[in-house]
Amino acid sequence: MVTSSSSSLILFCLTVSLLLLLLPLPSHCADPDPLLDLCVANLTASTSSSYFPCKLPSEVTADDFVFDGLSKQGNVTNLFGVAVTTGNVLSFPGLNTLGLSMNRVDFGPGGINPPHSHPRASEIGIVIEGTILSGIVTTKNVYYGKVATAGQVFAVPRGLVHFELNLGQTKALFFTAFNSHLPGSTVLPLSLFAAAPSIPMEVLTKTYLVDEDAINAMKSKFVF
């Protein structure tokens, strides 16, 4: 004979079992482990996932696993006095599925890597030359800033707004690494004032509490 307490226990177990089937498990939320020794990106193929399709093994060469772009100094004669050279899967196909990439960042005197964020990766950087102010802002609008010199390392949590400023009167250089083969970058001033099509004027004037002349003055600085 099934008692009331037994019925409740059975119902509870069935409910929990159903929830476990319906709710996504943590393992389903992470990137899948690679199933191949290597998967060099076929950059000419279309992709609908986080990874590019693999090149055929017969098309893979040693050059796919070597990238010399970070050995070259970037051109800092621009609006911000900074040059970011990206070593991600788009320029370094051998990184496909590996979950890592690197950038080289060159600064002219007083140059700035303006406030930006990386939506798909955390970041760790090391200063090679110069004196750099590295700052991050949390989602609670708390600012953390620290001056770093050659040999010092800084970290940036995924998705947080951050910047780097060369405090010196000479050039500066740092390298940064990411836990994504394509971390992405959203540069705030460009996103707001150089978007195409443009963000509606009313949105910008109400956001910054200024008139249209002030917004147009800002936009004029980002015409490339």
Counting residues of the chain whose pLDDT is more than 90, the rounded percentage is 79
Label residue 181 exposed, middle or buried (CB < 10 Å: 0-12, 13-18, 19+): buried
Whether 191 and 134 have beta carbons less than 8 Å apart is answered as no
Nearest-angstrom CA–CA distance, 209 and 74: 37
Nearest-angstrom CA–CA distance, 47 and 182: 13
Residues 138-153: tens digit of each pLDDT: 999 999 999 999 999 9
Q: What pLDDT was estimated at residue 193?
A: 96
Residues 19-36: tens digit of each pLDDT: 444 444 444 433 556 778
Nearest-angstrom CA–CA distance, 111 and 224: 18
**pLDDT bracket for residue 10 (50, 70, 90):** low
| Average pLDDT taken over every residue of the chain | 88
β 143-149/112-117 pair status: unpaired
The yes-or-no verdict on residue 44 having pLDDT over 70 is: yes
C-alpha pair distances (Å), 213 with each of 115, 143, 207, 218: 23, 30, 14, 9
Whether 184 and 190 have beta carbons less than 8 Å apart is answered as no
What are phi and psi for residue 3, nearest 5 degrees?
A: -85, 170
Please state the rounded mean pLDDT for residues 168-197: 96
Q: What pLDDT was estimated at residue 4?
A: 52
Q: Which amino acid is at 95?
A: L
Name the region of 130 (left: φ>0; alpha: ψ -120 to 50; beta: rest): left
Residues 56-65: tens digit of each pLDDT: 999 999 999 9
Assign 3-class secondary structure to 69-129: HHHCCCCCCCCCCEEEEEECCCCCHHHCCCCCEEEEEEECCCCEEEEEECCCCCEEEEEEE
As beta bridge partners, residue 213 has: none
- Please give the model's pTM, rounded to 2 decimal places: 0.82
Nearest-angstrom CA–CA distance, 53 and 74: 30
Counting residues of the chain whose pLDDT is more than 70, the rounded percentage is 84
Please state the rounded mean pLDDT for residues 167-178: 97
Nearest CA to 110 among 187, 186, 164, 174? 164
Nearest CA to 152 among 126, 129, 177, 122? 126
The yes-or-no verdict on residue 164 having pLDDT over 90 is: yes
Whether 126 and 103 have beta carbons less than 8 Å apart is answered as no
The yes-or-no verdict on residue 17 having pLDDT over 70 is: no
Q: What pLDDT was estimated at residue 26?
A: 44
Please state the rounded mean pLDDT for residues 41-68: 91
